[in-house]
Structure 1
Amino acid sequence: MDFSNINGFVVLDKPQGPTSHQVDHWVREILGIEKVAHIGTLDPNVTGVLTMAIGKAVRLVDVVHESPKEYVGVMRFYEDITEEEVRYYFKKFTGRIYQLPPVRSAVARSLRIKTVYSLDLLEKKDRLVLFHVKCESGTYIRTLCTDIGYVSGKGGQMVDLRRTSTGPFSEDRCITLQDFAAMVELARKGEDKLLRDHILDMTYAFKDYPKIVVKRSAMRNIAHGSDLYAGGIKIIDGKFRKGERVAVISEDNDLVGTGIAMCSSDNIFMKVVDFDHIFLEADDGKDNVVRIGKEAVQKSGSGLHKDIQRSEGRKDTRTGWYGRDTGPEKTADRVWKGKNKGRVYPRSGADKGGGGKERHGRDHQ
């Protein structure tokens, strides 16, 4: 089995001790490939769901990371507290809450608003409380426990935590790192069925998202950076509103891309999806960068990199202009870099190549 062709996810049951980045390193060594990344960092002492993205799925890490997380944890209060009081303060911390990240964290230590979707008491014994929480990505559970203890007047802290899900990836899909290594060894010997059964394809990340099936005729334009328009839609599976994330798949159920809906599913018009990730292969056979309007698609190897990059403020290597639009349109505005830096001039049809640059330079000196 060629592990370099794996594009998908494997859900590991992280043990206490190693960091999430150490687990990344071990998975890379086991598979012998570099394209591996985890989704949602866990502290060394936290166990549970650590989803590993492999191959092309690495480019979906930021998308899946937006998904809600679920945890089961144990909190200890410093003073006696009744079950009714615990439920009362848990309810107080359900919904939108303020959080200040801990001193040792990967983000700036500034006050943030996070959403706790549910916070339930599962069991209580003396001052120990077993709880389940579903929350927005980026919520610090240790800080949540400390804040509950402070507001209750009893004081408290988190003593144990296990993540049970990250978006669609739940602990019922978990395997240990040792089991994963054993599956890879079997695959090297030609027995790859067990490993394939535990590799989830890229569409699994969008199991709970609305989906749009595109026509084959629209695939080429999308591969070259075009957004999805109404004429390219074959089927809409699920309801969505403007501004929500949707998954775009092919008629063969392969992931084409994902982006933000520009209209609702009940009111479809011209531009339907503004892509931020495209996973189709395309090859223009010429330049390393194909520009479509205000977007650039960077080539990687024999195909296009598929991740759309905004080209605002970048240099057009053909003309030397810096501008809001480095695309091929003749009407794009340009900003002259030089004596009159910062001024915006409309680009005429005659403005092509170095000649256009020199003419504009003389006109405005």
Structure 2
Amino acid sequence: MSQEINGIIVIDKPKDMTSHDVVAILRKRLKTKKIGHTGTLDPMATGVLPICIGRATKIVDFLLENVKGYHCEMCLGSATDTQDRWGVVTHQVADPNFQIDKESVVEVVESFIGEIDQVPPMYSALKINGAKLVDLARKGIVVEREARRRTIYKIENIVVRQHTIEFDVACSKGTYIRTLCHDIGLTLGCYGHMTELRRTMSDPFKLERAVPIDLIDLDMISTHLVSIEDALSFMEQIVLPDSIKYHKLIQNGVKIQLDSFKDEIQLKNAKKFYRIYVGLTFYGIAENTDKGLFMKKLL
């Protein structure tokens, strides 16, 4: 009988493969039903795609909330219906040899750093009234979408080559880099669309840790598997007294109120979630509420 797999594999997703395709391939290859990804990458995009396996599927929602990083390339001069080069051109500048100075481009790109409002693109998996926007778009139906507040933490390494711009961006979950490129083009007054996208980070996982999907099978999985504890290293930890009482209560799945330990633990910045230890043993995630700290996920 094969050993149960629990942990995270960071896949370097290839182009022309959906996130669902990656999950389906690994489900078959690793012979497991408990598997899921932590944030969709468009088929044309490449890079960091964390895949949770076994008990690690319990922490998908926590990983989804983290900062994402991308290396992006965009083209000025035209806009498309999908906001990337795989769509149909909808708007184009009259003069294909238009000039725009690099200083203006850099200034506009950097102006998007901070909180921004994004209107989700029609060609996206977002659902409105139960229907996927992309399905409506393919039928020629355009519906009104409300702008959503997103955060661009930083944009750096901006390179401008005539009508092409490259940059690295770190952003909050749910940010559409295609839409960012589209909006940059509109602000510059010359239209724009994304031409390449590579995810370089899905915190805490960086591209250096990503593995090509072809290298993952049952024999090699242990080499690349990240433990649940390591995957949650971005959370602050709380260590409870190493007593039999707390070991047993947590092992039995009892929801424990930890309010009496607040003062001695001194919670920093009143975070919402914490890693919980009894002595040196990692048990899971606790939630900080008005009534104290309660076990949220027993891992």
| TM-score (ref. length: structure 1) | 0.66
Distance of 2:166 and 2:63 partners within structure 1: 27
Decide whether the 8 Å contact of 2:256 with 2:295 is kept in 1: yes
Decide whether the 8 Å contact of 2:286 with 2:296 is kept in 1: yes
Decide whether the 8 Å contact of 2:71 with 2:168 is kept in 1: yes
Partner SS, residue 52 of structure 1: strand
Decide whether the 8 Å contact of 1:9 with 1:201 is kept in 2: yes
- 2:182 is equivalent to residue 146 of structure 1: yes
Partner SS, residue 216 of structure 2: helix
Distance of 2:193 and 2:117 partners within structure 1: 17
Give the count of matched residue pairs. 259
Q: How far did 1:138 drift?
A: 0.6
Decide whether the 8 Å contact of 1:15 with 1:48 is kept in 2: yes
Give 5+ residue unaligned stretches, structure 1: 188-193, 264-270, 280-365
Decide whether the 8 Å contact of 1:98 with 1:112 is kept in 2: yes
Q: In structure 1, what is the equivalent of residue 239 of structure 2?
A: 213
Decide whether the 8 Å contact of 2:253 with 2:298 is kept in 1: no
Q: In structure 1, what is the equivalent of residue 214 of structure 2?
A: 178
Partner SS, residue 105 of structure 1: coil
**CA 261–155 in structure 1, closer or farther in 2 if over 3 Å, else same:** same
Distance of 1:203 and 1:15 partners within structure 2: 27
- 2:226 is equivalent to residue 200 of structure 1: yes
**CA 161–235 in structure 1, closer or farther in 2 if over 3 Å, else same:** farther
Distance of 1:175 and 1:250 partners within structure 2: 33
- 2:101 is equivalent to residue 82 of structure 1: yes
Q: How far did 1:274 drift?
A: 3.4
Q: In structure 1, what is the equivalent of residue 32 of structure 2?
A: 33
Deviations 1:225-276 (A, max 9, x none): 424414468985x96322532221343343x22243247xxxxxxx542333
Q: How far did 1:111 drift?
A: 1.4
Distance of 2:150 and 2:193 partners within structure 1: 19
**CA 199–258 in structure 1, closer or farther in 2 if over 3 Å, else same:** same
Query: Equivalent of 1:226, from 238, 255, 258?
Result: 255
AA aligned opposite 2:234:
D
- 2:74 is equivalent to residue 50 of structure 1: no
Distance of 1:167 and 1:228 partners within structure 2: 29
Query: Equivalent of 2:120, from 86, 92, 101?
Result: 101
Decide whether the 8 Å contact of 1:246 with 1:259 is kept in 2: yes
Distance of 1:231 and 1:141 partners within structure 2: 45
CA RMSD of aligned residues (A): 2.3
Distance of 1:25 and 1:241 partners within structure 2: 40
Q: In structure 2, what is the equivalent of residue 294 of structure 1?
A: none
Decide whether the 8 Å contact of 1:243 with 1:262 is kept in 2: no
Partner SS, residue 151 of structure 1: helix
Q: How far did 1:154 drift?
A: 1.9
AA aligned opposite 1:18:
M
Query: Equivalent of 1:249, from 240, 257, 277?
Result: 277
1:191-340 paired onto structure 2 within 5 Å: 195-215=221-241, 216=243, 217-222=245-250, 223-231=252-260, 240-254=268-282, 256-262=283-289, 272-279=292-299
- 2:146 is equivalent to residue 110 of structure 1: yes
The structure, 1 or 2, with the larger RCO (C-alpha pairs under 8 Å, 6+ apart) is 2
Decide whether the 8 Å contact of 1:229 with 1:273 is kept in 2: yes
**CA 141–202 in structure 1, closer or farther in 2 if over 3 Å, else same:** same
**CA 49–125 in structure 1, closer or farther in 2 if over 3 Å, else same:** same
With 148-157 and 214-223 compared, the bigger mean Cα shift is at 214-223
Deviations 1:282-319 (A, max 9, x none): xxxxxxxxxxxxxxxxxxxxxxxxxxxxxxxxxxxxxx
Distance of 2:187 and 2:157 partners within structure 1: 17
AA aligned opposite 1:36:
I
Distance of 1:53 and 1:160 partners within structure 2: 26
Q: Identity percentage over the alignment?
A: 31
